């Protein structure tokens, strides 16, 4: 029988490995869009089953550790955080597949406009994902909180993308279909950022035992 | 000290109560849209903090039960399912708030078209939610599987809504802003259906100990 610590380390490694694949997938999905490269989009779609398998493996490892080790306090918080982070990572993979599908749909239409804000959103949410995972494996509360601060910036970029695309559609009905695809890409990137925020909140809870979702912290201080 | 069974019953009750509020919230958000009624939309936005509080309470009850009762097998699966269902319900509440916000934005613009498919999608996803929760509290695998079957129907309705709205925008650029709002409403309803599907998958896993996510079952049979 292996040590609990070793098994927790294995769980950490698996989450990092999954996070790495999810990050690569998000990156590829946006590159396929910007470079109008269908091969990259197809790779994203092809890699999805691997992410799904990883989710199932991690879930079953976590459940096994909960059952066999009967952890309490911080170890228990680690395992429940791992379970939630696993779900968030898998959903991020789904969102990258949505982006890849939009990229393929956009390839069949002429380009609408130069891509500026969408790649910028992508850089931001990818760094949120990497920082939130880094915060998790290093139990680094400060880094987790820095991820929470990036969320407003993502929303600002999304608003800029929406506003501009609505203008384009109003001026030129022939771009409607492409513009709707791009609006969904921006929406999917925003949601990837939301999942990174969820992960960061789970990290703070795991490290401190304090729930920062829905500003529960401020409410506690007020009471 | 109360009995574990009693505490599980309390968890069940709380999830049902939260599910009831989430379902009412989805219903109100779509009614606010169809009836162009801002008061209903505002109620949805006002009720969100209550759903968030419920999520935090249920999460903390579940974590406490995991720590104190050290459950195994089906009880452990019940608790991990409860934890995931809790997250899904909270996200559904967020999506209803998004719909309410779109409804308010639409009120400031002239109506685009008669609403037919969107209310139909709403009826379908609300019944998916109720059936998935019912399946959970009654450990009813057949009912959970019936929810999984409704997913394709939701996707068909969504495609109908998208196609029609893209046509409207191409013909009349003045409806672009409203049509984009409605596309997001359809997307939010689709995602509410996805969360109901997640719940149903968690119920099958809880009842049978079999993971039906990502068609893991078929893969197992193939191997």
pLDDT digits (tens, 9 = 90+) for B68-99: 888 888 899 999 999 999 999 999 999 999 99
For residues A92 and A113, give the distance between their C-alpha atoms in angstroms, rounded to a whole number: 26
Is the CB of A170 less than 8 angstroms away from the CB of B170? Answer: no
Do the Cβ atoms of B89 and B55 come closer than 8 Å? Answer: yes
Q: Which residues of B touch A72 (CB under 8 A)?
A: 67
What is the percent of chain A where pLDDT is above 70?
95
Q: Which residues of A touch B166 (CB under 8 A)?
A: 176-177, 180
User: Which has the closest alpha carbon to A170: B173, B183, B112, B165?
Assistant: B173
Q: Which residues of B touch A213 (CB under 8 A)?
A: 52, 55-56
User: Which has the closest alpha carbon to B180: B161, B157, B203?
Assistant: B161
Q: What is the pLDDT of residue B116?
A: 84
Do the Cβ atoms of A132 and A7 come closer than 8 Å? Answer: no
**Mean pLDDT, chain B, whole residue set:** 92
A144-176 pLDDT, tens per residue? 999 999 999 999 999 999 999 999 999 999 999
Q: What is the pLDDT of residue B222?
A: 44
Q: What is the pLDDT of residue B4?
A: 85
For residues B27 and B49, give the distance between their C-alpha atoms in angstroms, rounded to a whole number: 17
A201-218 pLDDT, tens per residue? 999 999 988 777 776 655
Full-model pTM: 0.88
**Mean pLDDT, chain A, whole residue set:** 92
For residues A134 and A198, give the distance between their C-alpha atoms in angstroms, rounded to a whole number: 14
More confident residue, A131 or A2: A131
Min Cα–Cα distance to chain A from B176, Å: 6
Q: How confident is the model at residue A56 (pLDDT cuts 50, 70, 90)?
A: very high
Give every CB contact of residue B196 below 8 A, 6+ residues apart in sequence.
B88, B92, B125, B128, B129, B131, B132, B147
Query: What's the mean pLDDT in A180-190?
Result: 95
Q: Which residues of A touch B213 (CB under 8 A)?
A: 52, 55-56
- List the single residue in A with minimal CA-CA distance to B173: A170
Collapsed DSSP state (helix, strand, coil) of residue B186? helix
Nearest to A83 among B80, B187, B211 (CB): B80
For residues B73 and A13, give the distance between their C-alpha atoms in angstroms, rounded to a whole number: 26
Do the Cβ atoms of A44 and A25 come closer than 8 Å? Answer: yes
Q: What is the pLDDT of residue B221?
A: 46
Is the CB of A84 less than 8 angstroms away from the CB of B87? Answer: yes
Does the structure show a pLDDT above 60 at B190?
A: yes
Query: What's the mean pLDDT in B13-25?
Result: 97
Q: Which residues of B touch A93 (CB under 8 A)?
A: none
Is the CB of B171 less than 8 angstroms away from the CB of A169? Answer: no
CB pairs under 8 A between A and B: 88
């Amino acid at each position: 029988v292996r040590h609990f610590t070793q098994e927790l380390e294995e769980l950490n490694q698996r989450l990092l490995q999954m996070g790495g694949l999810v990050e690569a997938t998000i990156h590829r999905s946006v590159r396929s869009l910007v470079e109008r490269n269908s091969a990259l989009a197809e790779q994203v779609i092809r890699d999805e089953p691997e992410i799904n398998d990883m989710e199932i493996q991690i879930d079953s490892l976590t459940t096994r550790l909960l059952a066999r080790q009967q952890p309490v306090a911080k170890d228990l918080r680690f395992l429940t955080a791992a379970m939630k982070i696993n779900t968030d990572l898998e959903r991020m993979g789904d969102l990258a597949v949505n982006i890849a599908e939009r990229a393929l749909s956009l390839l069949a239409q002429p380009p609408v406009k130069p891509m500026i804000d969408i790649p910028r959103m992508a850089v931001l949410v990818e760094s949120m994902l990497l920082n939130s995972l880094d915060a998790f494996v290093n139990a680094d509360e400060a880094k987790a909180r820095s991820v929470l601060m990036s969320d407003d910036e993502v929303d600002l970029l999304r608003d800029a993308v929406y506003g501009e695309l609505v203008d384009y559609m109003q001026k030129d009905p022939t771009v409607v279909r492409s513009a709707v695809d791009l609006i969904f890409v921006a929406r999917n990137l925003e949601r990837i950022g939301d999942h990174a925020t969820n992960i960061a909140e789970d990290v703070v809870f795991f490290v401190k035992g304090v729930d920062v979702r829905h500003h529960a912290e401020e409410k506690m201080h007020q009471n």
